[in-house]
Amino acid sequence: MTLLKPTAAQIDAVLTGGRPICAFLHDLDALNRHARDIAGSLPPRVELFYAVKANNDSRILGTLAPHVAGFEVASSGEILKVREAVGADARIIMGGPARTREDIELVLAQGVERLHVESLHALRLVNAVAMQAGAVLPILLRVNLAGPVPGATLTMGGAATQFGIAQPDIPEALKLLRDCPALRFEGFHFHTVSNNRDAAGHAALCAMELGLARSWATEHGLDLAVVNLGGGWGVDYGDPDWRFDVDGFARAFAPHVGEDIRLQFECGRILTAYHAAYVCEILDLKFVHGRTFALLRGGTHHFRLPSSWGHNHPFLILPRDAWPHPWPRPECRDINLTLAGELCTPKDVLARNVPVERARIGDLACFLMAGAYGWDISHHDFLCHPHPQHVYLGAYEHANPRVFSTGSTSFS
């Protein structure tokens, strides 16, 4: 799998408008190939949905649409995003906590395929809204496993979190469903971990969850049609060349796949992370109390992921020779550099004390693996700085005409 690593010359060639530079670059052709390869690695009767929360850009959705079974959304806004970008025929499933009456009404109006219900109150509310609409809504029950669950960057279940129905309460939820005539139970939803880098361990976790769903179906006399095993296929921001072993995961999980149940995964980060870069021009260099800082045109208001996860995001310093000023160009060599943004907070940092050979004012900091949980989770208008440019490279042959125009630029 490729990793988008543009050069300074390539960046200057595709960006338009004023300076200094601040932009997200997306390689749609590489994303297209990557999504095709991942979807093609899965066993039959296993469906791959894209978790829109990772990146809801309409061009990303359009690029992924030919390769994924559909889209997993967590809000009414994401439902409308998918419909606008991909169309009325796109399959949509919906999960997430804190559902409202308006959410459920939109689910019914927009033909969402299935709703993942996360509490007993939500069961009652969904049933009431569906009854009022004269509809029967297919649902899955989201399970928060009894834990602990090892091996992931984020734990969504197996711990005291706000997600899903606690495993001991599943029998009560199944009993309540008998009094919900507007709901059609189809199965269970497990989204227990996020960003698991252990492919074999993740396959074992998914097999355990599938076995648990089957045992509940037998115990309670249920027709089990669907089990959604969430996402959680990891990336490693500390090592951009590392890859989750999708083929190994598929081989390990394949013996547990039968003809009786449709299995679904809802992945986001592993699909979109690698094929975007966030590029910021260095505006200033400062040595303060023993540390060297590069101040960027940009920061966590555009790309909050490093601050959110507390890691040093991988980056390259891309040299640019032009220097428009009559005074000497400030630079630093062979130092540990902290890359900080333009916000008035010391938390606006994308990488701390990272060794670099050389950095100058006017050079570019190019943050790799910027395609997931970056722009979408950021506080864009804090201090009201200008937004970055968004540049889309490539226009593969199956481009969605709703989204793409011809003549897109490519680095290849």
260 and 279 in a single domain? The answer is: no
Q: What letter represents residue 280's amino acid?
A: C
216 and 296 in a single domain? The answer is: no
What gap in Å lies between CA 401 and CA 77, rounded to an integer? 22
pLDDT band at 402 (very low <50, low <70, confident <90, very high): very low
Give 157 or 206, the one with higher predicted confidence: 206
- Does the pLDDT value for residue 405 go beyond 50? no
- Does the pLDDT value for residue 411 go beyond 70? no
What CATH code is carried by the domain that includes residue 360? 2.40.37.10
Counts for the chain of helices (H) and strands (E), in that order? 11, 19
261 and 293 in a single domain? The answer is: no
318 and 362 in a single domain? The answer is: yes
pLDDT band at 255 (very low <50, low <70, confident <90, very high): very high
Q: How do beta strands 276-288 and 22-27 pair? A: antiparallel
Residue 268, SS3 per DSSP:
coil
Q: What is the pLDDT of residue 203?
A: 95
Q: Establish if 83 belongs to a structural domain.
A: no
Q: pLDDT tens-digit profile of 387-397?
A: 999 999 886 44
**DSSP per residue over 328-395, as a string?**
PPPEEEEEEEEEE-SSSSTT-EEEEEEEEEEEETT-EEEESS-SSSSGGGS-TTGGGPPPPEEEEE--
217 and 97 in a single domain? The answer is: yes
Structure tokens at 309: 């996860």
- Phi, psi angles (nearest 5°) of residue 82: -65, -45
* Cβ atoms of 361 and 285 closer than 8 Å: yes
* Cβ atoms of 286 and 362 closer than 8 Å: no
259 and 280 in a single domain? The answer is: no
Range of the domain at 204: 91-267
Q: What is the pLDDT of residue 395?
A: 61
Q: pLDDT tens-digit profile of 327-362?
A: 999 999 999 999 999 999 999 999 999 999 999 999
* Cβ atoms of 121 and 169 closer than 8 Å: no
What CATH code is carried by the domain that includes residue 189? 3.20.20.10
Say whether pTM exceeds 0.85. Answer: yes
* Cβ atoms of 91 and 114 closer than 8 Å: no
Of 144-158, 287-301, 398-412, where does the model show the most confidence?
287-301
Q: Establish if 31 belongs to a structural domain.
A: no
Residue 193, SS3 per DSSP:
strand
Boundary-marking domain end, from 241, 267, 293: 267
Q: Establish if 244 belongs to a structural domain.
A: yes
Domain count across the chain: 2
pLDDT band at 399 (very low <50, low <70, confident <90, very high): very low
> Mutual orientation of helices 120-133 and 101-109 as an angle, nearest 10°?
50
Q: Establish if 204 belongs to a structural domain.
A: yes
Q: Establish if 296 belongs to a structural domain.
A: yes
Asked which of 108-117, 232-241, 254-263 is least confident by mean pLDDT, the reply is: 254-263
Residue 407, SS3 per DSSP:
coil
98 and 18 in a single domain? The answer is: no
Boundary-marking domain end, from 205, 233, 267: 267
260 and 208 in a single domain? The answer is: yes
Is 332 one of the annotated active-site residues of the chain?
no
- Does the pLDDT value for residue 269 go beyond 90? yes
Q: Establish if 242 belongs to a structural domain.
A: yes
Show the CA angle centred on residue 341, arms to residues 300 and 371, nearest 5°: 40
Nearest CA to 69 out of 333, 262, 208, 355 is that of 262
324 and 261 in a single domain? The answer is: no
Q: What average pLDDT does range 192-200 have in this prediction?
A: 90
Find residue 366's DSSP bridge partners.
279, 316
* Cβ atoms of 45 and 72 closer than 8 Å: no
Q: Establish if 80 belongs to a structural domain.
A: no
Q: What is the pLDDT of residue 408?
A: 41
13 and 156 in a single domain? The answer is: no
334 and 376 in a single domain? The answer is: yes
102 and 189 in a single domain? The answer is: yes
Structure tokens at 186: 């189809």
Residues 6+ apart with CB under 8 A from 34: 1, 2, 271, 274, 275
Q: What is the pLDDT of residue 125?
A: 97
**Distances from the Cα of 115 to the Cαs of 96, 123, 136, 256, 410, in angstroms?**
9, 10, 11, 25, 39
Catalytic residue among 332, 344, 366, 384: 344
How many CB atoms neighbour CB 87 within 10 A? 12
Q: What average pLDDT does range 376-403 have in this prediction?
A: 77
Boundary-marking domain end, from 267, 293, 320: 267
Q: Establish if 57 belongs to a structural domain.
A: no
